[in-house]
Chain A
Amino acid sequence: MTQSLLHIESVQLQIAEQRLCDSLTFSIQARESWGLLGRNGAGKTTLLHSLLGLHKPVSGTIKIADQSLAQFSRRELAQHVGILLQEGIDSLPATVLETVMLGRHPHSQSILSESAADQEIAQAALQEFQLGEMAARAIDTLSGGERQRLALAMLITQAPALYLLDEPSNHLDVAFQTRLLSTLQARIHAQGAGMLMATHDINLAARYCDHIVLLLPNGKSIVGVGAEVLNEENLSAAYECQIKSVSEGQLTLFYPA
């Protein structure tokens, strides 16, 4: 049996008395892209944080690479799981290159200078997200979109086996959204990694995710292959608002009626 990157079983989360994700079960295999959809407060971010051990589930088990989450040290976990945080990166005085190099932290901790290999990985990540010329720029001079690209570059520098993305399209214009997510997805596939992306953008998820976890307002969830989960009926139930769709060729677009 192949090893799954993430396996969660009958997980129940709770935040301030409110129950979220009632007995949620799913597994992510290598090269799979999962989308996590649900209305505000449905528990998307809480679920992502619980996969990093930041939030303890009330019940159920979470396994990363077939090993219980509790058995990982912080550093081992960071070698397996990386996250693009919703809050992004603080705008402290620091350069782009310094920031992207932080992604190597789980892998090398020599107090002397960075290894040439780490430097190369960081430079390649900057190139990939078109930040190569900005390496020496101070991050407080970056625009919101550039900062988001920097955060993505830092994440691929970390090179985890499981990528968690919390609202990756924040601050990105439509052109960058598709370009960056394509780049990221190619990268994740080439590396044999997997991805779980929480987003508000149904169409983005429909386009980039082969599997979907749809969190419903009653705490239940619908899990499955993207094309099967994403339909007018399920989405209308999840967002408590009527969602319609139009199709053009291969592409189906969803919009609120």
Chain B
Amino acid sequence: MLLGALLMLTAISAVFSLLSGSVPISISELTAVFTGDGSPLAVQVINEIRLPRTLAAFITGGLLALSGVIMQVLLRNPLADPYILGISGGAAVGALSAILLGMGSLGLTNAAFAGALFSILLVFGLANRVGQWSVTRLLLTGVVISAGWGAVINILLTTSSTNTVQSMLFWLMGDLSQSEVHLGHFLLLVTGLICGLLVSRSLNVLVRGELVAISLGVNINVLRTGMYIAASILTATAVTVAGSVGFVGLVIPHMLRLVGARDHRILLPGSVLLGGSFLVIADSLARTLIAPQQLPVGVITAVIGVPGFLIILRSTMSK
């Protein structure tokens, strides 16, 4: 039911995204493009600009929302989001250094990914030294490392020239205008979702508490290590595609929980669909609201996400 509605939303958001932009394209022209007899201009705009960008937005949103669900269960903390353990901070330092050194977009992507990977290993290594998994320890380590990255980011921002600061800020707020996704990104999202579904029942048990999960036969050490690795890879990939787009990973899982999707067999695919279509819509607005100028998509996610979330929160509380 819910998943059906979300699939509809996904389709609608995709059409909305393909129709928005500086070159006006009507629905009939759009169908013409897909049936193979569109005008050359429309074909070029759709296939080379809007479709790749829509896919990038959907995949990024899906990755972030999926990672958000996992982090919230792993850390047993409703405030957890994909960035809480410093992955985006590491990626940002990598990306900003690349911008500072004037590297091209490939260099930037690689630097961001390397930064994220370094941060993941650093946090995991520090939090795990005793060989014993402790959620509090992991959370504290992650938050402190995150703060450290924040300081480095500020140093980079304050010592750079105005021109580079502009593109740095876009990266930090999350921006899809330079994004490229390929089949690998999509496969990663699908694999992440399938792995999540395979352990979804164990996740349902884990949210009830550590002892409950153990007593019901969940090997929580193995499960948590897997969750940390999975959430890290998903986040690192999303961040290298689009910078640190905020809000999606924090709020999308909560929105779904508020409307009753607490079973992870529904919550995981639901988050991918809602996160994806949410970012598709946000990105469509980001590139049309003050066209021809583009806004960073991370700003729009917050601008429409904050009131949206508050409305759902209020309406479910009054029940």
The finding on whether chains A and B are genuine partners in a shared complex, rather than unrelated, reads: yes
Within 8 A of A (CB), among B172-226: 197-198, 200-202, 204-205, 207-209, 211-212, 214-219
A105, B205: Cβ atoms closer than 8 Å = yes
CB-CB under 8 A for A109 and B201, given A74-B217, A94-B262: yes
Known: A87-B209, A94-B262. A78 touches B201 (CB 8 A): no
**CB distance B263 to A92 under 8 Å?**
no
- Asked if A98 contacts B263 (CB within 8 A), the reply is yes
Q: Which residues of chain A (35-88) have a CB below 8 Å from chain B?
A: 52, 54, 73-79, 82-83, 85, 87
- A74, A83, A94: most-surrounded residue (chain B CB, <10 A): A74
Query: What are the residues of chain B within 8 A of A194 when measuring CB–CB?
Result: none
Contact of A102 among B198, B200, B204, B219 (CB under 8 A): B204
A74 touches B218 (CB 8 A): yes
B50 close to chain A: CB less than 8 A: no
Residue of B nearest to A164 (CB): B215
User: Given the complex, which residues of A lie within 8 Å of B201, measured CB to CB?
Assistant: 105, 109, 111
Is A103 an interface position by the 8 A CB rule? yes
Determine whether the beta carbon of B209 is less than 8 Å from that of A158.
Answer: no
| Residue in A85, A90, A99, A106 whose CB lies within 8 Å of B217 | A106
- Within the complex, the shortest CB–CB distance from B77 to chain A, in Å, comes to 13
Query: Are B219 and A73 in contact, CB atoms less than 8 angstroms apart?
Result: yes
- Assess whether B216 is in contact with A92, with CB atoms less than 8 Å apart: no
Question: CA–CA, A90 to B211, complex, Å?
Answer: 11
Q: Is A89 an interface residue when CB atoms closer than 8 A count as contact?
A: yes
Q: Say yes or no for A93: interface residue by CB 8 A criterion.
A: yes
Interface flags, B133-163, vs A, CB<8A=1, else 0: 0000000000000000000000000000000
CB of A102 within 8 A of CB of B215, answer no
The residue that B215 contacts in the complex, of A83, A93, A98, A109, with Cβ under 8 A, is: A83
Min Cβ gap B2→A in Å is 15
Q: Are B208 and A79 in contact (CB under 8 A)?
A: no
A77 / chain B contacts, CB cutoff of 8 Å: 217
Q: What chain B residues lie within 8 Å of A54 (beta carbons)?
A: 211, 214
A82 to chain B, nearest CB (A): 7
When the two chains form their complex, are residues B208 and A90 in contact, meaning their CB atoms are under 8 A apart? yes
User: Do A89 and B208 touch (CB < 8 A)?
Assistant: yes
Cα distance A98–B204 in the bound complex, in angstroms: 10
Proximity string of chain A (143-155) to chain B, C-beta cutoff 8 Å, 1 when within and 0 when not: 0000000000000
A75–B201 Cα gap in the complex (Å)? 13
| CB <8 Å contact, A105 and B218 | yes
- Minimal beta-carbon separation of A153 from chain B (angstroms): 14
Question: Are B217's CB and A111's CB within 8 A?
Answer: no
Contact A105 B262 (CB under 8 A): no
Tell me, in angstroms, the Cα distance from A243 to B216 when the chains sit together. 38
Q: Which residues of B contact A106 (CB under 8 A)?
A: 216-217
Cα–Cα, bound, A98→B209 (Å): 15
With A93-B257, A102-B204 already in contact, the answer to whether A74 and B198 are too (CB < 8 A) is no
Assess A85 versus B215: contact at CB under 8 Å? Given A102-B205, A105-B205, A111-B265.
Answer: yes
- Give every chain A residue within 8 A of B263 (Cβ-Cβ): 98
A52 and B219 within 8 A (CB): no
Max count, chain A CB within 10 A of own CB: residue among B197, B212, B215, B216: B215
Q: How far is the CA of A105 from the CA of B200 in the complex (A)?
A: 11
A111, B216: Cβ atoms under 8 Å?
no
Contact indicator per residue, chain A 85-123, by CB within 8 Å of chain B (1) or not (0): 101011011100011001101100101000000000000
Closest beta carbon of chain B to A20's beta carbon, Å: 19
Q: How far is the CB of B204 from chain A (nearest CB, A)?
A: 7
- 19 A–B contact pairs at CB < 8 A? A74-B214, A74-B219, A76-B217, A78-B217, A85-B212, A87-B209, A90-B208, A93-B257, A93-B262, A102-B208, A102-B212, A102-B216, A103-B216, A105-B201, A105-B205, A105-B216, A105-B217, A109-B201, A109-B202
The 7 A-B residue pairs whose C-beta atoms are closest, nearest first, are A78-B217, A106-B217, A75-B217, A74-B219, A105-B216, A83-B215, A74-B217
